[in-house]
């Protein structure tokens, strides 16, 4: 995840010739071979953590899931409102006890097997009856008491109470004939990685045919996709070790789209021929998170977190020590805004501007720490009445440059008020494990928030703390281990409130409570900085309209609509996306980068040595959990 292979072109080419190997590779738009597939190559700086929808949690993984597996409904590209997905219509019963979804008729999975309402019922019942499966999807099924396929195109779901979430069920529908043979134990280690010989079986616009961990993920168009076969034959996600490498890859034409760029690299693309830059409003935030008392879902304590951070007065005081505007300016290069609550401003009807806002005031932080009984010791570090020093472990994600930068600033801010931190940078995978075990004091990470707030709000419920499976402790959605009965009661209320205005009020009450109790200090909301080769591809669809992201959306709008720039189309003129810095080039491209990448991958498999260079780091402002 955190390394980049430096390809030695001459060595790789010579080795391939010596072997007598012909490497086949898809071509980007504009390649000379008319019969070559059209390949959209997307550069990212974080690999997926798993190709299994029940396991992975990072945004990159969710992008792969939605490309392969449909949901009952989708979110419109215009404004996130619910629109048809696998279900072409849906209806709540008059007594509000059941929901009926009419599934499109005559569908098949990518392997030709029939796709029916039985697959939908299987997927939901597996989550309802499972435990591991509920980690990512339990918040959607908690109120569902029964799911039944009454015929091949009809699914009826019974709910415990009326619920607004039934139009927002972001559950990926899986093929029963594949997943029924993977039991509760096996699913925990199931990779779900497709190969050319055995692609994943899906019903989205693409299916996976190859993955090389830390290098790339390749997907092919699904001929049986109900939305129509995409104009792009393949989508390749290529992983780069750092932000600079990502920018250079776009300039050189190795990739067609760069996602989640860092501000300085994004700015460096200004005026580059054939490249369009986009600064998109986005639904993500980053935060400094505290271990508020790690425990299992039954309340059994776990981990080795500092008990001092259970003190809400301490957490509140530390909030005044963090200069959020400086993080926006110095980490994001100004491409974002100061953070406050966990529902971002992009969702204007749900976002709360909190009462009694906490700003940057280190003197006030010192006063609050004094009042809470944390006095400055001889070494300059504060301590409580028993002499326990305010000295904490602070984790950053080594695969995100912005995380590493943020943590260094945070370390300085805390030191200025008498709080010592030991910074440790680990991979996102490792940090997920550390958090789930409760073996941390503080960490920096973030979330991408769905259009419906239920999932995000659920990450602070008592039930979503870690849980035991035999002798193993498994991570759930809660990463702060915040547990409050009043908050849980509000969570249940909002999940049953179908009046949108009343529900929004409940959601805002929950945001205020979290803001006051401070399990998180939300540091910033970030813009999604994207750039693409407008001399090669057009038709990207922003979400929301005009100002939103072109990829990593709630839905697959761009993937369904993107197409090569034709010889008759002026460079970038047909693009649906906003942006600056577009220019013309000759429209040509080379498949050499992909060919060489294929050679290197083959040589690695065959055990032939190739010179490689490794660079740590990488990541961007939104390489966060979803």
Task: For 540-590, write each residue's pLDDT tens digit.
Answer: 999 999 999 999 999 999 999 999 998 444 443 334 333 333 333 333 333
Tell me the DSSP string of 82-151: EEESSEEEEEE-TTSSEEEEEEPTT-B-TTS-B--HHHHHHHHHHHHH-STTHHHHHHHHTTEEEEEEEE
Residue 519's closest CA among 484, 465, 490, 482? 482
Strand pairing category for 467-469 and 472-474? antiparallel
Weakest-pLDDT range from 271-285, 384-398, 589-603: 589-603
**Residue 174 scores a pLDDT above 90:** yes
Q: Is there a contact between 467 and 131 (Cβ–Cβ < 8 Å)?
A: yes
**Residue 346 scores a pLDDT above 60:** yes
Question: Residue 276: in which H helix or E strand, if any?
Answer: strand 275-280
Q: Which CATH architecture has domain 9-47+213-281+528-606?
A: 3-Layer(aba) Sandwich (3.40)
Tell me the DSSP string of 417-470: TT-EEEEEEE-HHHHHHHHHHT--SEEEEEEE--SSSHHHHHTTSGGGSBEEET
Query: What pLDDT score does 28 carry?
Result: 53
Instruction: Report the pLDDT averaged over residues 444-471.
Output: 95
Percentage, residues of the chain above pLDDT 90: 82
Segment 234-282, tens digit of pLDDT: 999 999 988 999 999 999 999 999 999 999 999 999 999 999 999 999 9
**Residue 521 scores a pLDDT above 80:** yes
Q: Is there a contact between 124 and 241 (Cβ–Cβ < 8 Å)?
A: no
**Structural class in CATH, domain 67-179:** alpha beta
Tokens of 497: 């409130």
Largest Cα separation within the chain, whole Å, is: 77
Residue 61's closest CA among 428, 479, 559, 474? 428
Q: How far apart are CA 306 and CA 389, in angstroms?
A: 10
Segment 16-60, tens digit of pLDDT: 323 333 323 345 554 334 468 999 999 999 999 999 999 998 899
Q: Structural domain boundaries of the chain?
A: 9-47+213-281+528-606, 67-179, 284-525
Query: What pLDDT score does 599 carry?
Result: 37
Tokens of 588: 């040509």
Q: Is there a contact between 613 and 301 (Cβ–Cβ < 8 Å)?
A: no
End-to-end CA distance of the chain: 18
Query: What pLDDT score does 27 carry?
Result: 52
What are the residues whose beta carbons fall under 8 Å from the beta carbon of 323, sequence distance 6 or more? 360, 409, 413
More confident residue, 600 or 343: 343
Band (pLDDT 50/70/90 cuts) for residue 399 is confident
**Residue 318 scores a pLDDT above 50:** yes
Q: How far apart are CA 376 and CA 387, in angstroms?
A: 10
How big is the CA angle at 299 (ends 293 and 301), to the nearest 5 degrees? 50
Helix (H, G, I), strand (E, B) or coil at 408: helix
pLDDT, averaged across the chain: 87
> Which CATH number is correct for 284-525, 3.40.930.10, 3.30.930.10, 3.10.105.10, 3.30.565.10?
3.10.105.10
Query: What pLDDT score does 429 carry?
Result: 87
How big is the CA angle at 362 (ends 359 and 366), to the nearest 5 degrees? 120
Helix (H, G, I), strand (E, B) or coil at 580: strand
Helix (H, G, I), strand (E, B) or coil at 72: coil
Tokens of 102: 């009419």
What are the residues whose beta carbons fall under 8 Å from the beta carbon of 190, sequence distance 6 or more? 52, 54, 55, 182
Question: Residue 9: in which H helix or E strand, if any?
Answer: helix 9-19
Tokens of 594: 């992909």
Query: What pLDDT score does 69 carry?
Result: 98
**Residue 168 scores a pLDDT above 70:** yes
**Residue 621 scores a pLDDT above 50:** no
Query: What pLDDT score does 566 carry?
Result: 81
What angle separates helix 117-129 from helix 134-141, to the nearest 10 degrees? Answer: 110
pTM of the model: 0.78
The dihedral over CA atoms of 180, 181, 184, 189, expressed in degrees to the nearest 10, equals -120
Instruction: List the beta bridge partners of residue 275.
Output: 533
Q: How far apart are CA 250 and CA 264, in angstroms?
A: 14
Tell me the DSSP string of 46-66: S--S-SSTTT--BHHHHHHHH
| C-alpha distance from residue 453 to each of 344, 446, 482 (Å) | 10, 15, 17
Q: Is there a contact between 297 and 467 (Cβ–Cβ < 8 Å)?
A: yes
Query: What pLDDT score does 558 carry?
Result: 98
Q: How far apart are CA 101 and CA 441, in angstroms?
A: 45
Burial (Cβ within 10 Å: 0-12, 13-18, ≥19) of residue 65: buried
Percentage, residues of the chain above pLDDT 70: 85
Segment 201-221, tens digit of pLDDT: 999 999 999 999 999 999 999
Q: Is there a contact between 213 and 17 (Cβ–Cβ < 8 Å)?
A: no
**Residue 440 scores a pLDDT above 60:** yes
Band (pLDDT 50/70/90 cuts) for residue 608 is very low
């Amino acid at each position: 995840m955190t390394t980049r292979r430096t390809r030695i072109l001459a060595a790789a080419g010579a080795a391939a010739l010596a072997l007598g190997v012909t490497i086949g590779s898809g071509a980007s738009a504009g390649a000379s071979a008319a019969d070559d597939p059209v390949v959209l190559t997307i550069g990212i700086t974080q690999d997926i953590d798993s190709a299994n929808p029940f396991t992975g949690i990072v945004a990159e993984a969710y992008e792969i899931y939605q490309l392969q597996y449909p949901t009952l409904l989708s979110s419109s590209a215009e404004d996130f409102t619910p629109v048809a997905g696998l279900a072409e219509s849906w209806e709540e019963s008059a007594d509000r006890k059941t929901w009926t979804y009419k599934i499109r008729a005559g569908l098949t999975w990518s392997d030709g097997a029939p796709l029916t309402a039985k697959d939908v019922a299987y997927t939901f019942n597996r989550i309802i009856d499972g435990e591991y499966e509920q980690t990512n999807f339990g918040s959607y099924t908690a109120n569902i008491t029964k799911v039944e396929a009454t015929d091949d195109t009809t699914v009826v779901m019974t709910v415990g109470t009326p619920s607004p979430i039934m139009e927002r069920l972001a559950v990926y529908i899986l093929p029963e004939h594949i997943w029924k043979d993977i039991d509760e134990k096996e699913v925990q280690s199931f990779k779900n990685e497709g190969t050319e010989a055995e692609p994943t079986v899906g019903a989205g616009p693409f299916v996976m045919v190859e993955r090389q961990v830390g290098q790339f993920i390749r997907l092919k168009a699904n001929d049986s996709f109900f939305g129509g076969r995409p104009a792009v034959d393949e989508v390749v996600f290529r992983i780069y070790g750092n932000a600079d490498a990502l920018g250079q890859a776009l300039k050189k034409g190795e990739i067609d789209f760069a996602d989640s760029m860092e501000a300085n690299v994004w700015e460096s693309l200004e005026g580059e021929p054939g490249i369009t830059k986009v600064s998109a409003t986005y639904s993500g935030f980053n935060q400094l998170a505290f271990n508020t008392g790690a425990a299992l879902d039954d309340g059994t304590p776990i981990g080795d977190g500092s008990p001092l951070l259970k003190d809400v007065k301490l957490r509140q005081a530390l909030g005044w020590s963090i200069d959020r505007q400086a993080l926006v300016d110095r980490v994001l290069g100004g491409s974002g805004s100061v953070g406050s609550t966990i529902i971002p401003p992009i969702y204007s009807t749900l976002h709360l501007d909190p009462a009694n806002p906490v700003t940057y005031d280190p003197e006030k932080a010192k006063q609050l720490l004094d009042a809470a009984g944390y006095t400055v010791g001889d070494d300059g570090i504060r301590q409580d009445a028993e002499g326990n020093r305010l000295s904490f472990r602070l984790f950053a994600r080594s695969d995100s440059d912005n995380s590493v930068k943020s943590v260094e600033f945070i370390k300085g801010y805390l030191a200025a008020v008498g709080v010592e931190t030991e910074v440790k940078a680990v991979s996102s995978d490792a940090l997920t494990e550390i958090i789930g075990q409760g073996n941390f004091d503080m960490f920096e990470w973030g979330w991408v928030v769905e259009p419906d707030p239920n999932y995000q709000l659920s990450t602070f419920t008592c039930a979503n703390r870690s849980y035991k499976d035999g002798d193993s402790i498994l991570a759930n959605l809660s990463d702060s281990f915040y547990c409050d009965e009043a908050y849980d009661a509000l969570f249940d209320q909002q999940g049953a409130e179908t009046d949108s205005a009343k529900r929004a009020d409940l959601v805002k009450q929950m945001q205020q409570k979290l803001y006051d109790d401070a399990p998180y200090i939300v540091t910033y909301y970030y813009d999604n900085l994207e750039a693409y080769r407008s001399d090669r591809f057009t038709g990207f669809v922003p979400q929301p309209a005009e100002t939103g992201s072109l990829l990593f959306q709630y839905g697959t709008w761009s993937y369904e609509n993107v197409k090569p720039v034709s010889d008759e189309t002026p460079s970038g003129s047909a693009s649906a996306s906003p942006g600056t810095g577009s220019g013309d080039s000759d429209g040509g491209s080379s498949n050499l980068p992909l060919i060489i990448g294929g050679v290197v991958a083959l040589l690695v498999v065959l055990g032939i040595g190739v010179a490689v260079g490794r660079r740590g780091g990488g990541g961007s402002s939104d390489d966060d959990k979803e």
